Structure 1
């Protein structure tokens, strides 16, 4: 496995400065934002797709520092019911896949998207209860008319370019659990896999080790985010896990994101890493830092220190003791 970072964390620094910093901390991989919610501070597909010299310079900047690009990320909602919004996210995805092909980056990370509840809806609708039955009807309409058709078409677009799609299992989108990921994968093909982030499993009540095993048995983990979550034992009883308070309301929220090791102990993270190795995942472990109690640099540094204790890096050898 290769320890990496989602480079948008250092969006305030120039590309070369950010790459120097992460390389100096011993990392081997970077995940780079190309548009959508993560922005494109370090990588503008419009420029790189049109300028071969700029493309070569960009690739050299990464490789000359002993790094790989584990994924290009353009998280967005290409299924948004407002067509202008959806088109912007869709265009970012298409250009990101085209750029990934040119850079020989094997994975593009994004969200599945979330439609509205009918053709003329204005806002996305996230059904999370089976009753009243209206929610079942909405869910059926979304998947049959929007989610599956979109990803069948654009999943094939990516597959034709030897690019895999890593969908982040995130609340508020159609694909947010192992089951919904596998449902879409069955319909749209093996190009669809997970960008698995344990932090979003914990707040939904899903054990990340089990999520790794469920998805790993289907070879459905394309990329991995390293981020932690803590659940407040008092506030969760007041607000539930679907707490709608802003993330800044840290004293009152039911749960919040933490840097690795500050929501769950190192043994738990060792179990997650071991489960990844068990199912054959041997790719990037990409740090994503959204900890409201720590600065960017401190949160990142502590995540690196904690993960370096448990990361399994060397190739598997023979079982000499057997």
Structure 2
């Protein structure tokens, strides 16, 4: 098992700067964010220009990682592959294929994304649509020696009523997406707040957990007594503010990290555990973000066999 980090938390940094900092901080691998530079989400990071990526860029990237002694665990482009707008869906699909092509050139095994959802349609209709359009992406990746991994994030902010916006949030839905050929970028934080014990999901699905993200979550039961499980109705313009939980760096929330890592080892996980930093306390500027990444490293490094 390697300890890595997702580069998306430092969107203004170059990949060279992220790699240098990560290596100095003791991280072993990077999960590299590759959103396009013009898009609709405020935390996008474009650390690889996958839309114009060629052999020269691949060679330079491999040299950069070798220079800093880092692995490249996955490329990350987490977008809504069932977007309701056909034009936007086509843009996402095209960029995901660019990411897959770049992964092939780099010799990277995994590209991460979301299943997504069309919030104007029922879950059943979305699953049927997914069965119609998503296998072509799996085939496209497979022909290039790449596996598509799906993060089990709920993405409640993508739905106008705060319902799941990514139909990959539960083991029931994992089994559905596995049947289409996807694998899992497993994240315990999302499972924790929706009431699923993350440790209990490892053994039944470890053959499909090929990459994992390390993000914690802090729950506030008193606030939940006011808002209920589904969170605030009045989010004051922030669709991600549920009111009773927030993401934290590992070690600052409720996730049992010794238990998680031990169970992953027990069942033979040999992939990368990649820190995903979305902690509002350790955010806002580069210094606090890197301090948060330092907290995550100090929490997880002693748990991973060197």
Number of residue-to-residue matches in the alignment: 282
Residue 242 of structure 1 and its aligned partner are, at CA, apart by 2.5
SS of residue in 1 equivalent to 2:134: helix
SS of residue in 1 equivalent to 2:53: helix
1:65 counterpart residue number:
68
Residue 41 of structure 1 and its aligned partner are, at CA, apart by 2.5
User: Is 1:284 matched with 2:272?
Assistant: yes
**Aligned Cα RMSD in Å?**
1.8
Query: Larger deviation: 11-20 or 227-236?
Result: 11-20
Q: Verify the 8 A CA contact 1:34 1:92 in the aligned structure 2.
A: no
SS of residue in 2 equivalent to 1:3: strand
Q: Distance in 2 between matches of 1:15 and 1:9?
A: 12
1:139 counterpart residue number:
123
SS of residue in 2 equivalent to 1:292: coil
Query: Deviations for 1:10-35, whole angstroms, at most 9, x for unmatched residues?
Result: 22222211111000011110000111
Residue 54 of structure 1 and its aligned partner are, at CA, apart by 2.4
Q: Scaled by the length of structure 1, what TM-score is found?
A: 0.83
1:299 counterpart residue number:
292
1:21 counterpart residue number:
21
1:199 counterpart residue number:
189
1:159 counterpart residue number:
142
Q: Distance in 2 between matches of 1:292 and 1:247?
A: 15
User: Is 1:260 matched with 2:250?
Assistant: yes
Residue 241 of structure 1 and its aligned partner are, at CA, apart by 3.0
User: Is 1:175 matched with 2:171?
Assistant: no
Q: Verify the 8 A CA contact 1:165 1:222 in the aligned structure 2.
A: no
User: Is 1:235 matched with 2:233?
Assistant: no
Q: Distance in 2 between matches of 1:66 and 1:203?
A: 36
SS of residue in 2 equivalent to 1:80: coil
Q: Unaligned 5+ residue runs, structure 2?
A: 155-164, 283-287
1:56 counterpart residue number:
59
Q: Distance in 1 between matches of 2:304 and 2:224?
A: 31
Q: Distance in 1 between matches of 2:240 and 2:183?
A: 31
Q: Distance in 2 between matches of 1:284 and 1:201?
A: 19
Q: Unaligned 5+ residue runs, structure 1?
A: 118-124, 126-137, 314-322
